Structure 1
Amino acid sequence: MELGKGATIRSVYLGRVSYGAGVELQHRLRQQLLDRAPDALDTLLLLEHPPTYTVGRNCDRSDVLAQPDWLRQRGIAVAECDRGGRATYHGPGQLVGYPVIDLRANRRNVRGYVRDLQEVLVRTLAAFDVAAVGGEERERIGVWVGRRKIASIGIHLRRWVTTHGFALNVCTDLDDFAGILSCGFDAGVMTSIEELTGRRRDLEDVAACCAESFAQVFERRLVSAEPTEMGFGPALRAARIRNDTRPLESRSPGS
């Protein structure tokens, strides 16, 4: 899908960021695009979160199987969010990608956008010796290696500007999936690059490859930016100090 052939996509690697801070950054960038601000630019945020279960708008807390004591012992928080999909896990060793992109000027094709996100992940995984495919049926949205799921996708659109995105298991602690029905599946379905290849990859290296794959699939010119260039520095430092995985407020689906 061409979202603007020849246009620019800005990629920012943020390191480990609390879930609430990640949501706030997306909302800030989305508002700039909706307002058509002079400095607004389609952006791919790449990061990892502290251990967090997120509950999408297609499910309720019943997908979180773990009891509060187990969550406390594992240090896992639970957050509600406005993306599509069901419950999923975010945590260290998982590459999370949040494309904040304006779809208004080109094809408004949600299914095509999701297919392209899958293709980005398939190409990224191929670079690390993992042969994967995108799921075709609605209940198998994401990226799969045989019967094992290695990446999840859940998006949100507001006036055709995207937020949320994908989560790719690089060297994730897969035991942490045991507390939920991950996208409706048992924890045993999940896998990672490390589990499949026996090699522990650096998350920032995978992020760089993912940004290149994103630019190729969406036919964009890739530019990299530092968080401080976008005014993210102080907010991210505070978020890391708090290590607060809760969203700043509960959010219902946007329009």
Structure 2
Amino acid sequence: MFPSYTAASDFQALLRQAFLDWKSAPTPRAPSPLVVSFTPTPTYTLGRRQKSLTPEQLGRLRSPLDVDVDLEPAGERATDNNGRAGPQTQRQFIPEVIETDRGGLTTYHGPGQVVLWPILDLHSTYYPHLTVRSYARLLEETTQAVLADGPSIQTYLSEEDPGVWAEAARRRAGGQERKIAAMGVHLRRHISGLGTALNVDVAVDGDEALNPWARFVPCGLEGKTATSVRAETGEEAWRRWELAGDGRARRDWYARRWTEELARRLGIPTAPATIHYRLG
């Protein structure tokens, strides 16, 4: 149902290698920028500079996690006669815990989230050169623009803490900041890896059996936590969102819109079709 984070990472590495090979032996036509989007099986990822977790911490992360998943296969309608989001079922997963080459500390990826990994050359001839800082800001501002579309969600950025933060959550929670999209970047010879993870309808409240964020301090940011599009719009508005389809259809919509917005900001055309690969 969901690819493993490791399978997606291996796929990304293959695509990045094509860019690196071109840099070693350039031809007249450089590789075109790509975006890999996916929703992985529940996974906790650790940053490269993070200290090893204790057995107690590992056991906590690997405890069974109950996750709501959509019943229908991709492409089928999952709405009632009033266009409301269709049925889900609950499945239990044992989350994976893996080390990655990104910075930062522990974070979570899983069902209800859209992971978006652009693969592009920061020094490409297709658009003005990007610095590490301007590229990171590009990812954040692309995410902000897409969240302002659809069910409009106002967000803000922080100079201290990367990612995109929900404005209403800060006011509603009495000052507690809630991140709606995480951002992490890895570069090799100016070729990008990793990217953005947008929380669409992942659980962000409840106890540790249901809420994956309750098991750790997200990205090591004490006093801050996660939120999602669903949590920010409210349950009734989420269910009546005019976009037909289940949670999967909405996640697909965000993936497509995010890719279009990134291309628009880079000043390049988007591909006429989406290519689907089975990972893992």
Runs (4+) of structure 1 moved beyond 6 Å? none
CA distance in 2, matches of 1:65, 1:178: 15
TM-score, structure 2 as length reference: 0.70
Matched residues, percent identical? 33
TM-score, structure 1 as length reference: 0.77
Secondary structure in 2 matching 1:220 = coil
CA distance in 2, matches of 1:103, 1:121: 18
Secondary structure in 2 matching 1:122 = helix
Gaps of 5+ in 1: 1-14, 240-255
1:31 pairs with 10, 14, 17, which one?
Answer: 17
How far the C-alpha of 1:69 sits from its partner, in A, is 5.8
Give 1:103-252 correspondences, 5 Å limit: 103-105=122-124, 106-127=128-149, 128-137=151-160, 140-146=161-167, 147-174=177-204, 175-186=211-222, 189-198=225-234, 199=238, 201=247, 202-223=250-271, 224-227=273-276, 232-233=277-278, 236=279, 239=280
Larger Rg: 2
Q: Tell me how many residue pairs correspond in the alignment.
A: 215
Gaps of 5+ in 2: 66-93, 168-176, 205-210, 240-246
CA distance in 1, matches of 2:223, 2:10: 29
Secondary structure in 2 matching 1:35 = helix
Name the counterpart of 1:42. 33
How far the C-alpha of 1:72 sits from its partner, in A, is 3.4
CA distance in 2, matches of 1:49, 1:132: 25
CA distance in 2, matches of 1:194, 1:112: 29
Residues 1:69 and 1:136: Cα distance change in structure 2 (over 3 Å): closer
How far the C-alpha of 1:135 sits from its partner, in A, is 2.1
How far the C-alpha of 1:194 sits from its partner, in A, is 0.4
Name the counterpart of 1:243. none
Superposed CA RMSD: 2.3
CA distance in 1, matches of 2:154, 2:194: 25
Aligned partners of 1:99 and 1:165 also within 8 Å: yes
CA distance in 2, matches of 1:217, 1:65: 45
**Higher RCO structure, 1 or 2 (CA under 8 Å, sep 6+):** 1
CA distance in 1, matches of 2:223, 2:62: 15
For residue 102 of structure 2, what is the amino acid of its counterpart? R
For residue 214 of structure 1, what is the amino acid of its counterpart? L
Residues 1:187 and 1:47: Cα distance change in structure 2 (over 3 Å): farther
Name the counterpart of 2:8. 22
Aligned partners of 2:156 and 2:165 also within 8 Å: yes
